[in-house]
């Protein structure tokens, strides 16, 4: 559905998204990428006929976005969680090998991408009389799935020792986040650096949530470290 006057914030954002995708399309067309880099891998796959040009542009967008809003949101959410739960921070400081597990738990508890949508290519029977027709737009919630008590014991508890590998914060299957490897490198580096230097993380003011239809994060998060 195109934006209307009833959703001016969404309408104001559309040109920015179009500009981003246009820039990435130009990058792919001109092959303006560093050989051997993440983006170059996507370009090589396109040139080899493994993915269409639209796929190359979309995957490249995954890398660009992973370096900005979602990763920033994951880091700030981690700071917020550790400020509210000092015991897990003590565990991480005592054993930095927990960093990968801690990052997965941050993404599970405070999924940076909360919701996304897809369009069904065929009719899907979910059971118990719930049928999604072909061509329907479906909104799925990563945030809700990652708090599913049928799969995650005590799902509201922040536990850096869960060592889970099956949260849905990065999507799944063909729709898995192309930039998640980059996001992991970035956040792991930040957490390891903080664990080596910071004894305590505390809130220094009232956090303010960012207003965003998809991403969960903070507009401001005052913290004090010691």
Mean pLDDT confidence for 39-46: 87
Chain segment 143-165, per-residue pLDDT in tens: 999 999 999 999 999 999 998 88
Q: What is the pLDDT of residue 5?
A: 57
User: Is pLDDT larger for residue 157 or for residue 178?
Assistant: 157
Cα-based distances in Å from 66 to 61, 88, 89, 130, 148: 8, 25, 25, 34, 25
The pair of structure tokens assigned to 198 is: 């910071």
Chain segment 92-146, per-residue pLDDT in tens: 999 999 999 999 999 999 999 999 888 999 999 988 889 999 999 998 899 999 9
Q: What is the pLDDT of residue 1?
A: 45
pLDDT at 78 over 80: yes
State the pTM of this model: 0.81
Which secondary-structure segment (H or E) carries 124?
strand 124-127
Give the CA radius of gyration of the chain. 20
Mean pLDDT confidence for 82-86: 97
Q: What is the pLDDT of residue 176?
A: 80
């Amino acid at each position: 559905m195109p934006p209307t006057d009833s959703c001016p914030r969404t309408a104001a954002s559309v040109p920015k998204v179009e500009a981003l995708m246009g820039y990435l399309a130009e990058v792919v067309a001109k092959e303006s990428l560093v050989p051997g880099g993440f983006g170059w891998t996507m370009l090589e796959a396109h040139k080899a006929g493994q993915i269409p040009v639209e796929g190359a542009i979309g995957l490249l967008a995954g890398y660009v976005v992973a370096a900005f809003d979602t990763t920033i949101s994951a880091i700030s959410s981690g700071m917020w969680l550790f400020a509210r739960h000092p015991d897990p921070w003590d565990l991480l400081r005592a054993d930095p090998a927990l960093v990968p597990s801690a990052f997965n738990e941050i993404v599970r508890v405070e999924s940076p991408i909360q919701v996304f949508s897809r369009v069904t290519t065929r009719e899907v029977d979910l059971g118990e009389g719930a049928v999604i027709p072909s061509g329907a737009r479906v909104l799925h919630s990563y945030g809700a799935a990652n708090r599913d008590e049928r799969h995650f014991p005590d799902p509201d508890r922040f536990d850096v020792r869960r060592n889970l590998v099956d949260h849905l914060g990065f999507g799944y299957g063909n729709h898995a986040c192309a930039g998640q490897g980059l996001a992991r490198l970035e956040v792991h580096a930040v957490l390891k650096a903080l664990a080596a230097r910071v004894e305590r993380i505390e809130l220094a003011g009232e956090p303010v949530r960012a207003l965003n239809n998809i991403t969960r994060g903070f507009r401001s998060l005052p913290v004090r470290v010691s």
